[in-house]
Homo-oligomer: A and B are copies of this chain.
């Protein structure tokens, strides 16, 4: 997959122009340090026309594309063109573990501007089961979500949720956390599951190295992840055409008529002739050298995008950042870089500034369920008695449905009374805050302002 250079960062390009430019332009994006610079002009002569030769010889052009529009410092404003949606990057992906972002209906997610969400293969494999989802057209059909989806490989949960597990070269035998039944995951079976789930982007089956781990253990783990990455890719390439969305969906669903970002809902931005994409994952613990080696060797195997795994596993936050910086250095600039499992609003802004294009984290949704709300004035623990009679909005600077309508007193009451609506409203707000944060980051890159934390964004508790 090659990056496509845009003439300008116009947001109003018509979809058909975008497609012909994709076919017609081959320049690699060049980054200019420091200032916001539009990417270079496409070479003349590559306009709309017959399909160029490289396209015919490059089956990977059918899957995913990544276009960098503007760079600023390390940060990149880009577009990830997936089969189901065009995703603006840097992007934060809410986690919809079991095919649902807990408590938030899909039309509300659309309204919030969510362009891509994450599903957990481990959980969906256990219930409702991959075949059930496959039979309903994959996750998109199953959860009635027609924008982009990314699935993880199941590797992380298999390691983190299961004490009793047996790891061999073949794969991992583990027990379901639900009923203790025995299961086996391998690169091949993980790929099979992810193809059945039908996400736009799938992840290689890796071993998430525990923390802490000594250098020998880290190397051993990293090497196995590389062997598993090869096996993942091999199986994926052989079977990716079995993705369910290539068959007729058995249930036609209606997207809400005022469905958020209309560009992503319109048929012309979707291209289901495409297949899924598989991203590789870099491991190597907290060792810069191992990270470098893992990155280079994963790139050697070759994927359309690369994730940095094995972080946010208990290491100090400064170490996370150092490892991210050290790893990014060795990942190709023209491919999307996905940092898994981070972070706070400040952190996602920071990492975006370093050149991370995609992130996911349960923090906004999980914190919401515990009444911990991110606001422009700091973190609010809504259960506190101080809010019991507070008539003001949760976050005066937030334009989400929750802040425009409800008072802190009401939100506090809902949480204290254990009302389900508390979870719904808290989650809507936290997601809105995260998505707004990323929106501002993208805007800052566009304007050449870098990606320092937007003023007021803070994870510190409210004084």
Binding site for B on A (CB under 8 A): 98-100, 102-107, 127-128, 132, 135-136, 141-144, 250-251, 253-256, 258, 388-389, 391-393, 401, 404-407, 409-410, 412-414, 416-417, 419-421, 423-425
Chain B residues near A136 (CB, 8 Å)?
389, 391, 407, 409-410
Partner among B106, B250, B410 whose Cβ is within 8 Å of the Cβ of A144: B410
Chain B residues near A258 (CB, 8 Å)?
258
Docked complex Cα distance between A455 and B78 (Å): 54
Docked complex Cα distance between A102 and B132 (Å): 30
Whether B413 and A128, one on each chain, are in contact in the complex, defined by CB atoms closer than 8 angstroms, is yes
Contacts A103-B424, A105-B424, A421-B105; A132 near B409 (Cβ below 8 A): yes
A179 to chain B, nearest CB (A): 13
Chain B residues near A423 (CB, 8 Å)?
420
A413 closest partner in B (C-beta): B128
**Best-buried of A99, A127, A136, A420 by chain B (most CB within 10 Å):** A420
Contacts A98-B419, A135-B389, A389-B136; A254 near B405 (Cβ below 8 A): yes
Whether A407 and B144, one on each chain, are in contact in the complex, defined by CB atoms closer than 8 angstroms, is yes
Whether A392 and B251, one on each chain, are in contact in the complex, defined by CB atoms closer than 8 angstroms, is yes
Partner among B143, B388, B409, B416 whose Cβ is within 8 Å of the Cβ of A410: B143
Contacts A256-B401, A419-B98; A251 near B132 (Cβ below 8 A): no
Docked complex Cα distance between A420 and B427 (Å): 12
Partner among B128, B135, B407, B409 whose Cβ is within 8 Å of the Cβ of A416: B128
**Best-buried of A141, A253, A412, A416 by chain B (most CB within 10 Å):** A253
Whether A417 and B253, one on each chain, are in contact in the complex, defined by CB atoms closer than 8 angstroms, is no
Chain B residues near A416 (CB, 8 Å)?
127-128
Whether A253 and B128, one on each chain, are in contact in the complex, defined by CB atoms closer than 8 angstroms, is no
A250 to chain B, nearest CB (A): 5
Docked complex Cα distance between A100 and B414 (Å): 8
Q: Return the 8 tightest CB-CB contacts between A and B, nearest first.
A: A103-B420, A251-B391, A128-B413, A250-B391, A100-B421, A254-B404, A144-B405, A253-B405
